């Protein structure tokens, strides 16, 4: 499945990264649009690249017990990371 098709089928996904790799993909839309290329999402995906953790484990590492993808950027913001 192409990334374009994946983003079409998953409207709440704004980015995706290769765990322990270098690739990251963002929903198109531009900095001022509704896409995923935003500083918080770039940092979020970079953490997947660097740590190799999925969303649930990354949320846990950020102190959000039982959290998921939607909890990561607010946790990063609360720690003044984004």
- Whether the CB-CB separation of 56 and 65 falls below 8 Å is answered with no
Name residues contacting Zn ion, limited to 63-82 (CB under 5 A).
69
Binding footprint of Zn ion, residue count (CB under 5 A): 2
Residue by residue, what is the 3-state secondary structure of 53-78? CCHHHHHHHCCCCCCCHHHHHHHHHH
- Whether the CB-CB separation of 40 and 46 falls below 8 Å is answered with no
User: Is 60 one of the binding residues for Zn ion (CB under 5 A)?
Assistant: no
Q: Which span sits near Zn ion by CB under 5 A: 4-12, 21-29, 31-39, 53-61?
A: 53-61
User: Is 55 one of the binding residues for Zn ion (CB under 5 A)?
Assistant: yes
Residues that bind Zn ion (CB under 5 A): 55, 69
């Amino acid at each position: 499945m192409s990334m374009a098709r994946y983003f079409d089928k998953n409207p709440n996904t704004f980015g995706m990264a290769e765990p322990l790799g270098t690739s990251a993909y963002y929903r198109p839309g531009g900095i001022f649009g509704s896409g995923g290329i935003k500083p918080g999402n770039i940092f979020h995906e970079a953490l997947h690249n660097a740590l190799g953790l999925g969303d649930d484990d990354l949320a846990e590492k950020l102190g959000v017990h039982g959290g998921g993808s939607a909890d990561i950027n607010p946790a990063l913001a609360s720690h003044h990371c984004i």
